Structure 1
Amino acid sequence: MEQGEIRVIPVPGIPEVDEGADLAALIGAALASSGITLEDGDVLVVTSKIVSKAEGRRVAAADREDAITAETVRVVATRPYPGGVTRIVENRQGIVQAAAGVDASNTPDGTVLLLPVDPDASARTLAASLRASTGARIGVVITDTLGRAWREGQIDLAIGAAGVRVFDDLHGSRDTFGRELLVTKTVLADELASAGDLVKGKTTGVPVAVVRGFDRGVVDDLDTPARAISRTGERDMFRLGTDEAILLGRSEERAVPAFRSLALRGLRTPDLVDVVVLPLPPGTSHSASEWVDAAFDRRPPRWARGLAGIAPFDAARSRVAEARDLLADELGSEVLLVADTPAVEARLALAVDAESGLVRVTTALRMRTAEGRAPGPVARLLHPVAIRILLARAARALARSRD
């Protein structure tokens, strides 16, 4: 679909917002005084700060750091600077950003502003009220200022949305050369947020803008949450900062010795030894044999089946009824799988340390013939990725079995 001209119109004249204020009425009055009439397909881009003020999210805080701590669900990274410490955290709204979104600007001394409790609900309320009062089919995007992991500076992004298409998923369509698009997914809500910020600014006292001409982004349904944009849980590929990830890896390595594994018993000078250690998900089984069964209950991902550290066990698993039929030894909380072939001696040991809350998988290979070549650098990098996928699958299966 071709896109025509888009206009971004500032909405001046909104006064200082107090707790309990009717934000829709204030915006409506400002639109009228500016001679702006909302039309079908308009998107109202609203700075979260005025939403927070109307909802009473201004709190007294002599120490902003205490407020940040209170709003933090998970710390991603911390970095000292001459005036203090920058904290990148996941906040109660599921957003990863600096300082949990706690803001001390444009608010009286001794107070800070917290983000709206539920920005999507705030957007729905505002959109419903403005649709009712104006008769126009409009959408609302609530924004906040965020940084990006690999780029300097900050931009406004969507933290709440209603009545707008949050994503434009182009999967399955074709580019101008006829090639099928496989992963192209545009975040329209973020683009609308950034467009609005071009005329709102941070110091101009203009917290609202109208994006006009993007009719295809507005929908009838108000339940179009911006929270769907945030990558959390298993979809989050960057849960820790670099320094934090290194420290965690070193601590886990110290907590679970690699050289006491059943996988190394009787295996002289292995060509590959790999150890993967992950936190034990709360509420999952402490039985190593149950973990093995759940991890190999079906075949590994196709790309992993040819890896030297996976292939012998995948081939052996296809010949037996259950993964636990491969168990060759069990000692305490560790079980051993053996899958020898004429070309390679293969060992995989899985241990569950309930006291430390860790799951460990040790893989060891020794090549017997010239045909059984030691894994190359790419295969060595991919092996722990495959093991982590198998463990994640096992965790999900074990959690379902306990429901």
Structure 2
Amino acid sequence: MNTAPSFPSAPAKPEQASIPAGDSSPARRLVITPVRGIGEVRAGDDLVELIGRACGRELRSGDILAVTSKIVSKAEGRTVPADRREEAVEQETVRVVASRETGNGTTRIVENRLGIVAASAGVDASNTAEGTVLLLPLDPDASARALCRGLKRDFGVDVGVIITDTLGRPWRQGQTDAAIGAAGISVLLDLRGQPDGSGRPMSATVSAVADEIAAAADLVKGKAAGLPVALVRGLDTLVTVGGMDKDPGARALLRPAAEDMFRQGSTEAYEDGRRSGTKTGYNAGYDDGHAAGYEDGYAAGYAAAASEARRRARISAD
């Protein structure tokens, strides 16, 4: 029998992340609790039942559940044999952003079919059965919506759900969890136009609160603790009651290509520049050569015509 966890409203235990927030935050007090008792997830398992049973009657409207993508992938049967890993990476890849040869082979940073830029398209061999690898969920936003609906149906609560995965970061060492799917929650907090601490209006601040929640929740879930779900309490204002079918989900966190200033790695950017320069140089050279040839031909024709005119003048004079 699984034992339901305790979700205290008193000061957090050491295993919890309790973060006092300032006035500009959506919460004055944030409590994050690991959800125990879910167990190993297998293909076809009902995550609503597993998570709901583990949370018991402690789940409240306004709560947010941070759910590791691996258990979603397992429940959805997104497992493939490890010897098909390269094939899976190719199938999941839409665009190669950068690649580098290392002592362990080729490291590729790619954009996958979900629009997420990640190493190996998010195909992962950790926390899965020996000889297998896991692909990301087919549609993490849809998976989050299904969890929201199911928990509303079974427990009568309006909660937010974030599907999380570990991502690396350009220019920074280490990895952190981020939101790859979401439902029932505002994933971005737009503070533009609001005054800062000095009273000046902010012009560019849009907080990626779903990513911040995912990263904070990982502090109590961990990578090897067997705790794939965390319950986040204190961010009720971010939960969009009844709006789970209308909100854009975690896709709203993806930067549009037109705004991406670092869309390519250095090697790929160099190759594109070289190809573009070669083509531009060829066209310019062709145009210059054509113009020069025209000028040379005109001059030669004019000289020939003048010479012929002088020859005829001499014949006429004779």
Give CA-to-partner distance per residue, 1:139-167, whole Å, 9 cap, x none. 00000000111111100000000000111
- Who is 2:244 aligned against? 222
2:238 is the alignment partner of 1:213: no
Match among 102, 112, 118 for residue 139 of structure 2: 118
Q: Report if the CA contact (8 A) 1:75-1:88 is conserved.
A: yes
SS at match of 2:164: strand
TM-score (norm 1): 0.63
2:123 is the alignment partner of 1:98: no
Match among 21, 25, 29 for residue 5 of structure 1: 29
2:264 is the alignment partner of 1:240: yes
Which ranges in structure 1 are unaligned for 5 or more consecutive residues?
Answer: 267-403
2:50 is the alignment partner of 1:26: yes
Cα separation, partners in 2 of 1:180 and 1:21, compared to 1, 3 Å: same
Q: Report if the CA contact (8 A) 1:166-1:226 is conserved.
A: yes
Could you say which structure has the greater relative contact order, defined with CA pairs below 8 angstroms and 6 or more residues apart?
A: 2
Match among 135, 156, 159 for residue 180 of structure 2: 159
State the structure with more CA Rg: 2
2:233 is the alignment partner of 1:182: no
SS at match of 1:248: helix
SS at match of 1:125: helix
- Who is 1:173 aligned against? 194
Aligned ranges 1:356-395 → 2 under 5 Å: none
One-letter amino acid matched to 1:89: V
Deviation at 1:216, TM superposition (A): 1.2
Give CA-to-partner distance per residue, 1:273-315, whole Å, 9 cap, x none. xxxxxxxxxxxxxxxxxxxxxxxxxxxxxxxxxxxxxxxxxxx
Match among 271, 274, 277 for residue 253 of structure 1: 277
Cα separation, partners in 2 of 1:155 and 1:264, compared to 1, 3 Å: farther
How far apart are the structure 2 equivalents of 1:97 and 1:235? 18
Aligned ranges 1:339-354 → 2 under 5 Å: none
One-letter amino acid matched to 1:14: I
Give CA-to-partner distance per residue, 1:353-401, whole Å, 9 cap, x none. xxxxxxxxxxxxxxxxxxxxxxxxxxxxxxxxxxxxxxxxxxxxxxxxx
2:70 is the alignment partner of 1:70: no
One-letter amino acid matched to 2:266: T
2:223 is the alignment partner of 1:202: yes
How far apart are the structure 2 equivalents of 1:125 and 1:67? 25
2:152 is the alignment partner of 1:128: no
Q: Aligned pairs, how many?
A: 264
2:89 is the alignment partner of 1:89: no
What is the percent sequence identity of the aligned residues?
A: 54
Q: Report if the CA contact (8 A) 1:101-1:114 is conserved.
A: yes
One-letter amino acid matched to 2:58: T
Which ranges in structure 2 are unaligned for 5 or more consecutive residues?
Answer: 1-22, 292-318
- Who is 1:109 aligned against? 130
How far apart are the structure 2 equivalents of 1:26 and 1:205? 14
One-letter amino acid matched to 2:265: G
Give CA-to-partner distance per residue, 1:168-213, whole Å, 9 cap, x none. 0011111121211111100111011111111001000000000101
How far apart are the structure 2 equivalents of 1:238 and 1:232? 12
Deviation at 1:82, TM superposition (A): 0.9
How far apart are the structure 2 equivalents of 1:29 and 1:173? 42
Deviation at 1:76, TM superposition (A): 0.2
How far apart are the structure 2 equivalents of 1:14 and 1:85? 36
How far apart are the structure 2 equivalents of 1:179 and 1:147? 34
SS at match of 1:62: helix
